[in-house]
C-alpha cells in the first residue's frame, strides 16, 4: 500500500477513512461500518459482523470487478 501511495498526502489516514487499512480497534470489525466501504456494505443491507464475512467478501470482490471494468473502459 505504501509503495502505491508515495506522494499522496495523508494517505494512511485516507486509507483508514475509506476502510482499506484499519486501525487495531477495527480488527474484529467493530466500527468498520463507519468507514466509507463499511457504509456501502451496510447500505447493501448487510450487517458488518464476522458471521457475514462470506457475503462481505463477495461484495468487496464485486466492487473490485466493477472498478477494474471502469479502468479498462477508460483506456
As for how many domains the chain has, the answer is: 1
Question: What pLDDT is recorded for position 57?
Answer: 92
Residue 1 lies in a domain: no
| Residue 48 within a domain | yes
| Predicted pLDDT at 25 | 57
Q: Has residue 52 been placed in a domain?
A: yes
Does some domain include residue 68? yes
Query: Does 6 reside within a domain?
Result: no
Q: What is the pTM assigned to this prediction?
A: 0.71
Does residue 2 lie in a domain region? Answer: no
Give residue-wise pLDDT tens across range 9-68.
Answer: 777 778 778 887 766 655 567 788 888 999 999 999 999 988 998 999 999 999 889 988
In the chain, the N- to C-terminal Cα span, in Å, equals: 23
Domain holding 20, by residue range, is 11-74
The residue that leads in pLDDT, 30 or 69, is 69
- Residue 1: its pLDDT value, please? 56
Amino acid at each position: 500500500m505504501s509503495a502505491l501511495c508515495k506522494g499522496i498526502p495523508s494517505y494512511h489516514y485516507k486509507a483508514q477513512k475509506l476502510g482499506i487499512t484499519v486501525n487495531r480497534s477495527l480488527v474484529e470489525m467493530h466500527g468498520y461500518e463507519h468507514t466509507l466501504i463499511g457504509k456501502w456494505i451496510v447500505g447493501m443491507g448487510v450487517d458488518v459482523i464476522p458471521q457475514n464475512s462470506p457475503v462481505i467478501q463477495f461484495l468487496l470482490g464485486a466492487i473490485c470487478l466493477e472498478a477494474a471494468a471502469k479502468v479498462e473502459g477508460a483506456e
